[in-house]
Amino acid sequence: MKKIKFGIAGLGRIGRIHLENLSTKFNDIEILAISDVDPNIKELAKKYSIPNFYNNYEDLVNNKDIEAVVICSPTKFHAEHIIKAAKSGKKIFCEKPMDLSLNTVSKVIKVLDEVNINLFLAFNRRFDPNFKKVKEIVSKGDVGEIQIIKITSRDPSPPPISYIKTSGGLFLDMSIHDFDMARFISEKEIVEVDAKGVVFNDVEIEKNGDIDTAVITLTLENNAMVVIDNSRKAAYGYDQRIEVFGSKGMCGSENKLHNNFYFYDQKGSMGSLPMDFFMDRYSESYYNEIKSFIECLKDNKKPPVNQKDGLMALAIGLAAKKSMKEKRRVKISEIL
């Protein structure tokens, strides 16, 4: 069997998750090269028996044997890395977001259209088994017409200030997953955004122009509403829940817990806390999304989530920023 040849760029937190999955869980692919500006990737290449490691991305895309690249570099390099890979004829899997500017994302989309490539954009939550089940129930029509979607997405602790300085802020680094989830579950476009945000936890976050707590209301094209609440600091762990309420019923997904124990006594009851953070909470989704990418390559199928989904999620994030700043509802048509 001919193996599909992969290269991975950016071997930080998320790059190493994809590296581990790709190199240990699939027989039909092989990793030909990794690339990172950090010279220590030499050790990583050795550990995973990868024949090539490069300290610059061009060497990776210039390697003609590589058929597919997995882009996990910092966000500011995604556009450049996508364009170079597309022009070299590679298949592309790219971490979210594509970029923080609509202008740049539009340029990337133009290049992808010119070479007729759809990239696989890694909105991993679409591949979480629980959220997929919710989506299936909603798609079958079992909850009827959607009226309200509630998404709770709270991190256990804020990222470093250095991250906040370049991430584009909470709406673009965190809520962007929830914006995509709202579109994914409802199969509808968002027409209007109303966002409020404040800082409760760290004045440094405020000094850097960001927030740590937000409530965003999205209006879908059928007038249904999506209420998203975000916090950068939930004292009890990583809180990730969804509920869909419709004309025929309701469905949802609760937190994944460390374990299922419970304890009752005369004072009350106790159970496990939610899983710690994205690395463990969403581990199945990371495996499932890269598996889906490989299946697309093998079966010559279009990726189920692509650059256009990235553009929409970014537009909603920019509308949320504008809404908070101008203290008013913002239509997506004002952004796109």
Ligand X SMILES: NC(=O)c1ccc[n+]([C@@H]2O[C@H](COP(=O)([O-])OP(=O)(O)OC[C@H]3O[C@@H](n4cnc5c(N)ncnc54)[C@H](O)[C@@H]3O)[C@@H](O)[C@H]2O)c1
313 lines the binding site for ligand X (CB under 6 A): no
CB of 246 to ligand X, least distance (A): 28
Judged by CB under 6 A, the residue of 6, 7, 8, 9 near ligand X is 9
54 in contact with ligand X (CB under 6 A): no
Question: Applying CB under 6 A, does 124 fall inside the site for ligand X?
Answer: yes
Among 8, 11, 83, 218, binds ligand X (CB under 6 A): 11
- Asked if residue 47 binds ligand X (CB under 6 A), the reply is no
The window from 5-13, 43-51, 185-193, 203-211 that contacts ligand X (CB under 6 A) reads 5-13
Q: Site residues for ligand X, window 245-284 (CB under 6 A)? A: 278
Q: By CB neighbour count within 10 A (0-12 exposed, 13-18 middle, 19+ buried), where does 43 fall?
A: exposed
Q: Does the footprint of ligand X cover residue 36 (CB under 6 A)? A: yes
CA–CA separation, 317 and 90 (whole Å): 29
The count of C-alpha atoms lying within 13 angstroms of the C-alpha of 203, restricted to the half-sphere facing its C-beta, is: 0
Sheet hosting strand 91-95, strand order edge to edge? 52-54, 29-35, 4-9, 68-71, 91-95, 120-122
Query: Cβ of residue 82: shortest distance to ligand X, in angstroms?
Result: 12
Instruction: Work out the angle between the directed axes of helices 102-114 and 307-326 (0-180°, nearest 10).
Output: 170
Smaller CB separation from ligand X, 16 or 331: 16
Q: How far is the CB of 51 from ligand X (least distance, A)?
A: 18
How many of the chain's residues bind ligand X (CB under 6 A)? 22
Instruction: Please say which residue, 112 or 146, places its beta carbon nearer to ligand X.
Output: 112
Give min distance, CB of 101 to ligand X, in A. Answer: 14
CB of 160 to ligand X, least distance (A): 10
Where b means 16+ CB within 10 Å and e means fewer, 183-207 reads bbbbebebebbbbebebeebeebee
Query: Closest CB to ligand X among 37 and 215?
Result: 37
Q: Which two tokens stand for residue 149?
A: 């979607």
Under rule CB under 6 A, residue 21 binds ligand X: no
Does position 238 interact with ligand X (CB under 6 A)? The reply is: no
Q: Which is nearer to ligand X, 13 or 46 (CB)?
A: 13
Q: Which position among 7, 8, 15, 82 is part of the footprint of ligand X (CB under 6 A)?
A: 15
Q: How far is the CB of 223 from ligand X (least distance, A)?
A: 31
Q: How many Å apart are CA 104 and CA 98, to the nearest integer?
A: 9
Q: What is the 3-state secondary structure (H, E, C) of 236-304?
A: CCCEEEEEEEECCCEEEECCCECCCCEEEECCEEEECCECCCHHHHCHHHHHHHHHHHHHHHHHCCCCC
Touching ligand X, residues 64-103 (CB under 6 A) = 72-75, 77, 95-96
Distance of closest approach, residue 90 Cβ to ligand X, in angstroms = 15
Q: Of the two residues 48 and 77, which places its CB atom closer to ligand X in the complex?
A: 77
Tell me the torsion sign for CA atoms 126, 130, 131, 135: positive
Handedness of CA 136, 185, 108, 15 (dihedral sign): negative
Q: Does 61 bind ligand X (CB under 6 A)?
A: no
Q: Which is nearer to ligand X, 95 or 212 (CB)?
A: 95
Name the residue among 232, 256, 283, 257 with its Cα closest to residue 14: 283
Q: Does 169 bind ligand X (CB under 6 A)?
A: no
Does 224 contact ligand X by CB under 6 A?
A: no
HEC readout, 74-136: CHHHHHHHHHHHHHCCCEEEEECCCCCCHHHHHHHHHHHHHCCCCCEEECHHHHCHHHHHHHH
- Report the residue closest to ligand X, judged by CB: 12
193: helix, strand or coil: strand
Q: Which residues bind ligand X (CB under 6 A)?
A: 9-15, 35-38, 57, 72-75, 77, 95-96, 122, 124, 278
